[in-house]
Amino acid sequence: MTIHPIEFRYGTEEMKNIWEEENGLKKLLEVESMLATAEGELGMIPKDAASTIEAKAGEISLKRVKEIEEEIGHDIMAVVTALSESCGDAGRWVHFGATSNDMIDTAHALQIKETIEILEGRLMGLLTVLIDLAEKNKNKVCAGRTHGQMAIPTTYGMKFAIWAAEIGRHLNRMGEMKGRILVGKLSGAVGTMASFGSKGMELQELVMEKLGLKAAEISNQVIQRDIYAEYFFWLANVATTLDKICIELRTLQRTEIGEIRERFGEKQVGSSTMPQKRNPIKAEQVCGLARIIRSYIEPALMNNTLWDERDLTNSSCERVILPEASILTDHIIRLTTKILKGIEFDDKKIEENLYLLDGLNLSEAMMIELAKRGIGRQKAHEILRIMAMEVYRTREKPKDILLRDDTVKKYFKEGEIDEILDPKNYIGMSKAIVENVLDRLNEGYNIKGNKI
């Protein structure tokens, strides 16, 4: 029986495999194995016992662990018992000096490490697609919009470059946070390492080195959850960028705007009752799941407010939010990349929208030119404001109203006004801005030449 949509609808097998029970057990046993190995090297347990524990750690089945847990009601002790019974006499040294969360938190760090490696690759793929789109569309002039109203022109290259720069920042943040979140602990019941004696700090450093993690600077029974919260904030931040991208893609697909479309399969159905529909369902899915990912921030923060040296309120919560947030973020990065790879432009509609207002959206350009010719910026602004209000009232063309203004006629000929009110003549430094961003990203992430 399947219940959760992650089981059958969302997520890649690659990411799901990281968070499935089998891999969780594998990581716990890996930590137990490295603990025994390090303790053997430091003379804390017999070396032959450590060797036996390391050899047997890979043989423990989830089925046996589940059977024991059913009897004793403790998941980590079930792992410890299953490993101990398979090690014979050496089993008495399994989990020596450790507490449950030494295993759990360190195993989680290993799973997060694997997750980040996948997410980094996904973001690099998305960044490559955005850079390609920005490069190909840096000269594609389109209507800019602010407050949902048409503003001065921009380019599609600018849109894609803005998103590319944002993904680049997420990759930078990932690099910065790795050293803070990929940490494990072996500090015992309240963090004092009393059970490990004088070799506690040395043992912790050695085990984490073997596992490819950093040792926690200080902990109580658990890694402090501000560390996990940073991971969830990062996931939510990435998800929000994807949400932003897909909201814009959905807006631009509105029938009244119609400048782009999601790729639509030959046999794809848009609606069960309206055969003509081409709904942006993939972009909508990204936006919907981004809401779920963002919602994990509050429980992640609350997990840092545990009683005293710890309570158990974080545990059940993290069993849900760690896998779900990781799997869903991976899913929507991949989905956004797929949408952007297949995006279709309607150049005719882009051109139509660009000239929809007959130059009214170039009022700024006209104001700047009036100011340059000696009228003054504030007076020029008022002339253009009055003109705009007249356009809204009468539906006349902006140029016709401007040519009736004595001040404007004094400084401009009709042909000059046409040139100023042409949207394609007012895109500023957009091409250079895009090229600067792309040069930096290509150089910083070695993307140039990558196959898309």
| Residue 271 annotated to the active site | yes
CA distances from 166 to 132, 327, 337 (A): 15, 21, 14
**Active-site position among 147, 198, 272, 316:** 147
Closest CA to 185 of 177, 173, 195: 195
Contact 96, 45 (CB under 8 A): yes
Contact 263, 205 (CB under 8 A): no
Ordered DSSP codes for 319-347: HHHHHHHHHHHHHHHHHHHHHHHT-EE-H
Work out whether the CA dihedral 305, 307, 309, 311 comes out positive or negative: negative
| Residue 316 annotated to the active site | no
Cα separation, 373 vs 282, in Å, equals 50
Cα separation, 250 vs 111, in Å, equals 34
Give me 93's structure tokens.
């040294």
Cα separation, 66 vs 77, in Å, equals 11
Q: Is 255 helix (H, G, I), strand (E, B) or coil?
A: coil
C-alpha atoms less than 13 angstroms from C-alpha of 440 in its C-beta half-sphere: 13
Dihedral, CA atoms, 113, 442, 290, 173, nearest 10 degrees?
50
Q: Is 245 helix (H, G, I), strand (E, B) or coil?
A: helix
Cα separation, 56 vs 77, in Å, equals 16
Token pair 């004595």 is at which residue? 406
**Active-site position among 61, 271, 316, 430:** 271
Cα separation, 356 vs 243, in Å, equals 28
Cα separation, 245 vs 287, in Å, equals 9
Task: Specify the DSSP class assigned to residue 276.
Answer: T
Cβ contacts of residue 135 below 8 Å, gap of 6+? 157, 434, 438
Burial pattern 164-190, b for ≥16 Cβ within 10 A else e, equals bbbbbebbeebeebeeebbbbbbbbbe
* Residues with catalytic function: 147, 271
